[in-house]
Structure 1
């Protein structure tokens, strides 16, 4: 029994020491809160490439911890809109006959690591700006209204998916507290149903039924080898709420 209690005591001491080390280190780090606005875009079965006629809007809120002058952890929440339609610029005859469309909103939570290429976070740094790259993981919930075929009425649907965010941008330190950034982000999803068109959608008959001339016909399902993607481009502004200056001796 005494041996067990001693093991518990040692464990608690180790946890306490680690906690104190973490807190003492945390006080020497910079923390930031901020937000941003920008545009959104989508690619998938309806749009094969980003189309300026199908842009949406997004807003984001985030918190950051700068571990050092290079690595930064960012936790963010983003809400935006996505939309697309075959009728504006169909990429082939099948898409023109399909005439699918969707419009909806997306809510995303992410955990991202940023890498700053220049040492610009120190107050005495010679750099006031830095390009950066980022990668991470997240989860998105998409709620929309759309139709797969032209003859269908638009229906509401919901899609949840894990996303892999990555991209880059440029940061500019306005002063010791404020940082401005321009960022382009890509989201790789694990679903083919953001646009309500996927390989599981039953095809309508290839040839028209002579006994039913009003029946639509054609191949109208999606590509089973291609997932949907979406993109962010925006401007962010962050405020440093805690910092410790570095001094050189």
Structure 2
């Protein structure tokens, strides 16, 4: 039932995006279509800081509505592969003993507002580039497999959905009146602590052995209590404007 709801959500979002981009003012020099490719990673209970040795791939399709020379609305759908494992780069000795790990796919739908710091779209502008920032809302669905600790009887497939807050920054460069190339770093703040299959609500098991009682389990299910999981995109995008650049008036 949950997966059916997710499919309905993403189908409705795609139809809304198509409707936005095929409206009657498609040729009013306002709309763009684009795609992007790059890398993805996560931080949580297995990776505390971004680890270049544990990267996945990501791709995106998006539409953009330019309101003026400064503000744009971008709606898009993205796919990414995320993975992390204590066995690759444990954060400490207890993490190596824990041996948690996961891998899976993220599907997300987002809508963000972009703010451009330079007027690079004006035909007479001295700039062909502009830094920009963005902020918005979205929803993410994750499906993967993993284990919370070595010998976890509940290891295997799992899935979850969560609202997300996407934000970040980048730089755009106009190749010509129709094509724009951009490099972008995006952050995804989630409302879930379960991307890595480690639930901070579980009973607190000691991270290190008890010298007085070696039979007490330790290090198999500890996490960062109170912190939610994040994931990140870094990549290039290429977008196409359906008509020549419009000179907006303020």
Scaled by the length of structure 2, the TM-score of the pair is 0.81
Are the counterparts in 2 of residues 94 and 220 from structure 1 also a CA contact under 8 Å? no
Name the CA shift for 1:77/1:30 in 2 (closer, same or farther; >3 Å): same
Q: CA RMSD in A?
A: 2.7
Tell me what 1:86 maps to.
Answer: 86
Are the counterparts in 1 of residues 71 and 116 from structure 2 also a CA contact under 8 Å? yes
Are the counterparts in 2 of residues 79 and 106 from structure 1 also a CA contact under 8 Å? yes
Scaled by the length of structure 1, the TM-score of the pair is 0.82
**Any stretches of 5+ residues in structure 1 without a counterpart?**
1-22
Residues of 2 paired with 1:24 and 1:151: CA distance?
A: 58
Tell me what 2:5 maps to.
Answer: none
Deviations 1:135-181 (A, max 9, x none): 11110000010000111263100011111111111100000100000
Tell me what 1:66 maps to.
Answer: 66
Tell me what 1:148 maps to.
Answer: 148
Offset of residue 241 of structure 1:
1.0
Deviations 1:207-238 (A, max 9, x none): 79xxx97x954452322211100000000000
SS in 1 for 2:77: strand
SS in 1 for 2:53: helix
Are the counterparts in 1 of residues 121 and 245 from structure 2 also a CA contact under 8 Å? no
Tell me what 1:190 maps to.
Answer: 191
SS in 2 for 1:222: coil
Moved more, 174-183 or 215-224: 215-224
Are the counterparts in 1 of residues 122 and 245 from structure 2 also a CA contact under 8 Å? no
Deviations 1:176-223 (A, max 9, x none): 100000000011111100000121234568879xxx97x954452322
Rg larger in structure? 1
Offset of residue 94 of structure 1:
2.1
Q: Does 1:50 align with 2:50?
A: yes
Are the counterparts in 2 of residues 167 and 184 from structure 1 also a CA contact under 8 Å? yes
SS in 2 for 1:199: coil
Tell me what 1:139 maps to.
Answer: 139
Are the counterparts in 2 of residues 95 and 220 from structure 1 also a CA contact under 8 Å? no
Aligned length: 224
Residues of 2 paired with 1:177 and 1:165: CA distance?
A: 26
Tell me what 1:223 maps to.
Answer: 224
Residues of 1 paired with 2:248 and 2:107: CA distance?
A: 42
Residues of 1 paired with 2:232 and 2:24: CA distance?
A: 38
Q: Does 1:104 align with 2:100?
A: no
Deviations 1:64-101 (A, max 9, x none): 00000000000010001000001111112221211100
